[in-house]
Amino acid sequence: MKSIRTIGVPAALGIAALTAAGCGDSSEPAADNIRVGVVYYDQSDTFLGALTEALREDLAEYKTESRNITMMLRTSEGSQDTQNEQVSELIEAGCNVLCINLVDRSLPSDIIDMASQEELPIIFFNREPVAEDMELWEKTYYVGADARQSGQMQGELAAETILNKDADRNHDGVIQYVVLEGEAGHQDAIVRTESSVETIENEGIVLEKLSYQMANWNRAQAQNRVEQLEAQFTGKIELILANNDDMALGAVDAYEKLNYTENTWPLIFGVDGTDAGLAALQEGKIDGTVYNDKEGQAAAIARLAVAAVTGEGMDEISFDQYHSIYIPYFKITEE
Ligand code: GAL
Ligand code: CA
């Protein structure tokens, strides 16, 4: 598209020189030495830790004899102000492209301002800015996944298991459930919960919500919430829908601590397919998860980052909507 429009330098300088414009103190042309600034919201996040490691490997594959690529990684410890400062430092350090996992997805404008002033492409990932913000600077992109799809798949897995296993422990014809929610305001929390519940109900299963608890994608917080819930609802919970695997594993931790066994604790479903999540699935500790394709997302980010800096291959990248790429999820069961 219009990916290399008005940059205000004579066209004769060529793409390499153009893209080097405004990249702090970098002396080499950007296309020969690409510095990729990567920032994610919090170091404790399992899924993003793994995604950014995959990204590091993918970027290395774009190195050639004449082109070096370095990735500079920062984590923002849950503070948008910290992240804004980190982005400013990465720009100072000569980054040619920014890959940003926002702390607060409603507050990308400072970062967009800084990047657009320096004509730097930004690839937001995993925490999606709203459409109006995406349009503030034309070299703004997003790579993520469709939250609704993950909820639907989790719901399908849960419905199938409920219908095949004796999930209705108290035989009242209703499945008593709780939700472990990711984070207030996160697209993957709200939408996953809604669509998971809706999908189960569409299969003709009657649900009763006992509680939903925010556990910030975090295993220890989820464990804590589930211990409290069991103190309140002793043995009544038949199903736990967790917005991610870490929280599903936190539920398992709680039941192990309370001396339940796999057969007596509720059905538990997660999302992500992290290494620990897959291991728990294999051991029968959780009942299903939906693979959040971190390899696919990392590959798309790497490709877009290199194309956005060099201008090469941009035409071949297809977007699902405006400048956004959504990588499909897929279901994983023990089988
Ligand atoms: C979700 C993922 C969670 C967490 C969150 C962070 O897509 O399922 O585990 O990483 O992103 O934004
Ligand atoms: Ca029941």
CA dihedral 237, 268, 184, 40 (to 10 degrees): 160
Distance (Å) of CA 129 to CA 89, 98, 100, 109: 22, 15, 11, 10
pLDDT at 12 over 90: no
Average pLDDT over residues 14-20: 38
The ligand minimizing its distance to the Cα of 101 is: 1
pLDDT band at 166 (very low <50, low <70, confident <90, very high): confident
Residue 267 pLDDT: 98
CA of 285 to the centre of ligand 1 (A): 21
Residue 187 pLDDT: 86
Residue 26 pLDDT: 46
The ligand minimizing its distance to the Cα of 51 is: 1
pLDDT band at 333 (very low <50, low <70, confident <90, very high): confident
Which residues line ion ligand 2, judged by CB < 5 Å? 168, 170, 172, 174
DSSP for 41-94, please give it: S-TT-HHHHHHHHHHHHHHHTT-BTTBEEEEEEEE-TT-HHHHHHHHHHHHHTT
- Quick check: 30 and 309 in contact, CB under 8 A? yes
Residue whose Cα lies nearest atom 1 of ligand 1: it is 188
Q: Which atom of ligand 1 is nearest to the CA of 245?
A: 9
The Cα–Cα gap between 143 and 55 comes to: 12
Q: Is the distance from the beta carbon of residue 76 to the nearest atom of ligand 1 less than 6 Å?
A: no
What single DSSP character describes residue 130? P
pLDDT band at 16 (very low <50, low <70, confident <90, very high): very low
Q: How many CB atoms lie within 10 A of CB 322?
A: 12
From the number of C-beta atoms within 10 Å of its C-beta (0-12, 13-18, 19+), residue 110 rates as middle
- Sequence-ordered list of residues with C-beta below 8 angstroms from that of 199, at least 6 positions apart, any chain: 151, 152, 154, 155, 156, 158, 159
- Sequence-ordered list of residues with C-beta below 8 angstroms from that of 159, at least 6 positions apart, any chain: 199, 200, 203, 205
DSSP for 151-215, please give it: HHHHHHHHHHHHHHTT--TT-SSSEEEEEEE--TT-HHHHHHHHHHHHHHHHTT--EEEEEEEE-
Residue 139 pLDDT: 97
Q: Which atom of ligand 1 is nearest to the CA of 246?
A: 9
Average pLDDT over residues 317-322: 95
Which pair of tokens denotes residue 202?
């569409």
Q: Is the distance from the beta carbon of residue 42 to the nearest atom of ligand 1 less than 6 Å?
A: no
Which of 43, 45, 101 has the most ligand 1 atoms within 8 A of CB, as the residue to mutate?
45
| pTM of the shown model | 0.90
What single DSSP character describes residue 119? T
Q: Which atom of ligand 1 is nearest to the CA of 45?
A: 10
Strand (E) or helix (H) holding 214: strand 207-214
Top pLDDT among 11 and 235 is at 235
Residue 18 pLDDT: 38
pLDDT band at 29 (very low <50, low <70, confident <90, very high): low
The ligand minimizing its distance to the Cα of 176 is: 2
CA of 210 to the centre of ligand 2 (A): 11
pLDDT band at 175 (very low <50, low <70, confident <90, very high): very high
CA of 153 to the centre of ligand 2 (A): 22
What single DSSP character describes residue 136? S
pLDDT band at 98 (very low <50, low <70, confident <90, very high): very high
- Quick check: 90 and 112 in contact, CB under 8 A? no
Query: 215 φ, ψ to 5°?
Result: -130, 15
pLDDT at 97 over 80: yes
The ligand minimizing its distance to the Cα of 210 is: 2
Residue 189 pLDDT: 93
What single DSSP character describes residue 271? S
Burial 165-179, CB ≥16 within 10 A → b, else e = eebbeeeeeebbbbb
Which of 150, 217, 241, 269 has the most ligand 1 atoms within 8 A of CB, as the residue to mutate?
217
Residue 24 pLDDT: 43
The whole-chain average pLDDT of the chain stands at: 91
